[in-house]
Structure formats: C-alpha cells, structure tokens
C-alpha cells in the first residue's frame, strides 16, 4: 500500500471523516477540522501508524501532504 493511502486512513480516523480524498497537494485548508490543535494529534497518529518519530525541525514547515509523504518515506527508508 502506498504511503499516501495509509495516510488517508490515518486522516480519516483523526479528522473523523469518511471517504477523504487526499493528494500530495492537499493542505490543511482542504480538510475540515485540520487546525493547529488537531495537527499535533495527526502527527502523533502518523508516527504511531508508521512506527517512526519526527524531530521538531522536520515538521516545522510541512507545506502540504506531499511534503509529509516524502518525510515519512525518508524515515521508513532510514528504518530499513
């Protein structure tokens, strides 16, 4: 399963929405309920789902979902 598909599942769980369409271009403006408060929970859920950990500087300037996907893929590659 592609990272973005897994990520969509996590988003649906965190933001309590069914059948979300998530693409690399998706930003917080495109998803109801994605604000600074739910962002923290979302990142923790992503870490837990993929078994990875983000460093604060890595997540400070994620511009869209594509940037998050790239970061997750990098972390998974490092994990081996």
Partner 1 sequence: MMAKNIGYMCTGMQCEMGRATKVAMRLINPDLSRVDYTFKDLDRESNKFANVLKELGVHKQDKVFVFLPKQVEVFFAFLGALKYEAIAGVLFSNFGKEAVFDRLLDSGAKILVTKQSFYDRISEILPNLPALEKIILTDVETNQDEKVLSYAALTSKASNDFMVQDVDPETPSVLHYTSGSTGRPKGVLHIHGGIAHQIDTMDEAFQVEEDDIYWCTADQAWVTGVSYGITGPWAKGITQVHFTGKFDAVDWFEILKREEVTIWYSAPTALRMLIQDEARIIGKYDLPKLKRVYSVGEPLNPEILFWVRKVMHKEIYDTWFQTETGGVMICNRPGLEIKPGSMGKPLSGIEAITAGEKDEILGPEQIGSLRVRRGWSSMFRTYLNMEDVYREKFHGDYYDTGDLAKVDSDGYFWFLGRNDDVINTSGHLVGPFEVESVLLAMDEIVDVAVIGAPDPMLWEKIVAFVKLKEGLTWSKSLEVKCRIAVSRQVSPVAVPSEFVVIDKIPKNRSGKIMRRVLKAQYLGKDVGDISTMED
Residue 23 near partner 1 by CB under 8 A? no
CA distances to 7, 10, 55 from 13, rounded to whole Å, are 10, 5, 23
Contact pick of 23, 25, 48, 74 for partner 1 (by CB under 8 A):
48
Distance CA 38, CA 35 (A): 5
Q: Which stretch binds partner 1 (CB under 8 A): 1-9, 29-37, 64-72?
A: 29-37
Q: How far is CA 19 from CA 3, 16, 39, 73, 77, in A?
A: 16, 10, 19, 23, 28
The correct pick among 3, 9, 45, 64 for binding partner 1 (CB under 8 A) is 45
By CB under 8 A, residue 34 contacts partner 1: yes
User: Could you say whether residue 41 binds partner 1 (CB under 8 A)?
Assistant: yes
CA torsion sign for 58, 62, 66, 68 is positive
Q: Which residues bind partner 1 (CB under 8 A)?
A: 13-14, 16-18, 28-29, 32-38, 40-41, 44-45, 47-48
């Amino acid at each position: 399963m592609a990272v973005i598909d897994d990520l969509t599942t996590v988003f649906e769980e965190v933001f309590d929405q069914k059948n979300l369409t998530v693409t690399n271009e998706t930003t917080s403006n495109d998803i109801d309920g994605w604000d600074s408060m739910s962002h923290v929970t979302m990142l923790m859920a992503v870490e837990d789902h993929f078994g990875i950990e983000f460093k604060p500087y890595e997540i400070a300037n994620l511009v869209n979902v594509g940037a998050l996907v790239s970061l997750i893929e990098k972390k998974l590659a490092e994990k081996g």
